[in-house]
Amino acid sequence: MADWQEITGGITAPRGYQAAGITAGLKPSGLPDLALIFSEVEAIAAGVFTSSQVKAACVDYCRQRLQAKQSARAILCNAGQANAATGNQGWFDALESALATAQALNISSESVLLASTGVIGQRIKMDALRSGIPKVVAALSETGSDAAAGAIITTDLVTKSIALQTTIGDRPVRIGGIAKGSGMIHPNMATMLAFVTCDAVVSPHLWQQMLARAADRSFNSITVDGDTSTNDSLIALANGQSRTPAITEWGAEAEKLEAMLTAVCQHLAKAIARDGEGATCLIEVEVTGAHDELSARQIAKTIAGSSLVKSAIFGRDPNWGRIAAAGGRAGVPFEQENLQIKLGDFLMLENGQPLQFDRAAASAYLKKASAGAYLQQDTVLISVNVGNGHGVGKAWGCDLSYDYVKINAEYTT
């Protein structure tokens, strides 16, 4: 059993945080498009960002800020314009956004982090942003998590939010998170956008290490379409307001905190994969028997990201050959005669040899998942064993439907 429980409140569940989301006029749709997360005190800050060579101005800005000072009090996120590939003016827009937010909050601009999402090549609508910042500051609330979660999404069909609580030093410690993402999901860092708040007392270097490992086991293990975004950002704050003993080195308390952080990130990551554009189900791939965890995750992510596997799942076709082919091209050595493949409870390949199975029942299993309750009974499980190693890894994706092409073919038109 997990050593924590789920609670309500999202990113404002931890002590000392407020959030807001408003409509500032950045999106043509008129939907909410400006979010703010605020810590009442300076918080330890960590971040993991896209590895793309084409990066949004907010990514470069946050990297510079966190290199200079591993703390922050505010995260401002605009939705509608990515502010990526916008040249020097995009950088100046980012600086102005941070300064305006800092002035409205009466804090230093060095304590403001930024995130953007939307169409690449479009600058932020600065007139709308300038007028929106005082409004989103005025809207800050200890119950504002849902509003913030709704203001960061673009093509998402649902908002993504979670909060968990455990006990450290006989006091409650909480971690909350929100995220957005639906398309252009093949992170090589974190995810499209994800923001995490925590009220534990933890040293900067440990918090960054924890976040990087949690990202690898969650956001770096999901895929929707094989495309990595220019704006991928995962930012986590820890403000110490739980008043627990400081966690400054690795031990039981640090392990517990990282496990809960990973659980928050995995929930958000799976929610993103399930909400993939046009998706009808979540795909979870577990690989065992690899040499190490990294190798297992590499095989799992290759299978979850295979267009042929994803298409077969959408077609309710229990074609295990596509799973085998994807695993074989993952770049991880293993002996073919050790390969085992299961789809749900259906064993299809054992010791590298095909087995007879009920194809109609296996297809019905896939159909049932597509009709299952969201993030509950809507998951297709693929289990792959490649040998006798200790490496175990998971990855998540979604099926590939006709609607994915339609959504993205008409994205800017």
Distances (CA, A) of 214 to 165, 183, 211, 217, 261: 17, 21, 5, 5, 7
DSSP label at residue 124: -
Nearest by Cα to 11 from 175, 219, 199? 175
Strand 282-290 relative to strand 379-385, pairing: parallel
Q: Could you list the active site residues?
A: 191
Strand 71-81 relative to strand 282-290, pairing: unpaired
Phi, psi at 13, each rounded to 5°: -70, -40
Measure the CA–CA gap between 103 and 121, rounded to whole angstroms: 28
Burial 35-71 (b: 16+ CB within 10 A, else e): bbbbbeebbbbbbbbbebeebbbbbebbeebbeeebb
| DSSP calls for 144-193 | -HHHHHHHS-SS-SS-EEEEEEEEETTEEEEEEEEEE-SSS---SSS-SE
